[in-house]
Amino acid sequence: MQGKHDEAKRWQVLLGGVLMQLCIGGIYTWSLFNQPLIDAYGWERTEVYTAYSLIVFIFALVTIFSGRLQDKIGPRKVATIGILLFSVGLIVASTARSLPMLYLGYSVLGGIGVGMVYVCPLSTSLKWYPKKKGMVTGIIVGAFGLGGFVFNFILSYLIQRIGVSQTFLVQGLVYAVVGLIGAQMLRVPEESENSKHILINENDFKPTSMLKTKAFYLLWVIYFIGSLSGLVVIGLAQDIARDVVGLAPQIAGYSIAVAAVANALGRIGWGALSDVFGRLKVFSLLFLITALSMLTLGLWTHQAVVYFIVLVLIVSSFGGFLATFPAITSDYFGSFYFGSNYGLIYQAYGVASLAGPVLLGLTSQDTQAFLIASMLAVAGLGLTLIVKPPVAIK
């Protein structure tokens, strides 16, 4: 009976994590909001896109603190506070008639909220599924990617019917309800023979110890490069389709949905494959796919079919990095301090979100930025060949 009860709890935790990640994954629909905000308030594209870059950076930064906090007071409380802040941020964004107010609501409050939520289901699920890390983290972060698809057509319809600002309001209210339900499902496993076994047989690095290893810095750079291309393409998917490829607005609108599905499937699929073939082998393949895809996007930009194929490859590879990095963090540095450790490694993702606009600003054309991203992916491939597991610090 105890085994069945524990199994039910494991599935409950997984479901709660998926519900929350679907909500905060709504940030990946940002490409839908670029042009409507420009049309409504006369802002520049780079100014509007900055809201997306900032929310990603801030939420990544907050994971340092939320990871430590949920290690101390538990994931349910931290996730509850986080989903409320995210929802309030969207409601504030709905009142924004100036860029500072948009940044305050969507980027700052929303970013803090997402950062508090994001680590909780990851850390909790890893404790319940110690032998299926890649698969479980793939499902959890896959739901984060899938959030863009689930809400894509709804948000697109709402923007057309009630306007971009009111759509923020609806988002905030819906995410509050769904996210709070998910947050209440989180719980850590009770101290058992199974959990004791985990602690005895894994090298659990404290954050200070992890920062003394070469593996941490190599993984950080790998994560930064692996995130860069996907973040740029996701944030501008519809704009690239319309302005670079030359697709009609109606066809370009499908970019967000296609990217969201590719993101989710990439997270689930590559995460599971990393359990079988190893994390670093999967990283190497993802970098190869990204390098070739960004090269194609930079050189061959006027074919719709080619664009959508390349879009799928880039974003699914991005999803693969996001799914596999929690698993390799747990592999290399243990599960006990996972929340704190992954928060530090995850800063690579946040810095990559800021590097995207910088890269676009340094080049006169988007296609030049794509070529630079392709070369960086080749460098990332080289790094996967030299990173090694850390030696435990006694």
SS3 per residue for 74-110: CHHHHHHHHHHHHHHHHHHHHCCCCHHHHHHHHHHHH
Quick one: average pLDDT of 329-342? 85
Quick one: pLDDT at residue 280? 94
Give the number of other CB atoms < 10 A from CB of residue 269. 17
Give the number of other CB atoms < 10 A from CB of residue 259. 32
Yes or no: say if 276 and 300 are a contact pair by the CB < 8 Å rule: no
Q: CA 100 to CA 172: how far, in whole Å?
A: 19
More confident residue, 299 or 222: 222
Query: In which region does residue 137 sit, left (phi positive, over 0), alpha (psi from -120 to 50) or beta (all else)?
Result: alpha
Closest CA to 258 of 138, 164, 145, 168: 145
Confidence of residue 49 (pLDDT cuts 50, 70, 90): confident
Quick one: average pLDDT of 109-133? 86
Rg (CA), the chain: 20
Reply yes or no on whether the pLDDT at 194 is more than 80.
Answer: no
Digit-coded pLDDT (tens) for 277-289:
889 999 999 999 9
Reply yes or no on whether the pLDDT at 316 is more than 60.
Answer: yes
Quick one: pLDDT at residue 201? 43
Yes or no: say if 53 and 73 are a contact pair by the CB < 8 Å rule: no
Reply yes or no on whether the pLDDT at 193 is more than 50.
Answer: no
**Residue carrying the six token digits 């519900």:** 19
**Rounded to an integer, what is the distance from CA 163 to the centroid of its chain?**
27
Quick one: pLDDT at residue 200? 39
Quick one: pLDDT at residue 1? 45
Digit-coded pLDDT (tens) for 52-82:
889 988 998 998 888 888 878 889 999 999 9
Quick one: pLDDT at residue 85? 97
Quick one: average pLDDT of 334-342? 82
Quick one: average pLDDT of 101-123? 93
Reply yes or no on whether the pLDDT at 5 is more than 70.
Answer: no
Confidence of residue 198 (pLDDT cuts 50, 70, 90): very low
Sorted by where each starts, the structural domains of the chain and their CATH numbers stand as 2-384 (1.20.1250.20)
More confident residue, 4 or 273: 273
User: How many H-runs (helices) and E-runs (strands) does the chain carry?
Assistant: 19, 0
Quick one: pLDDT at residue 3? 55
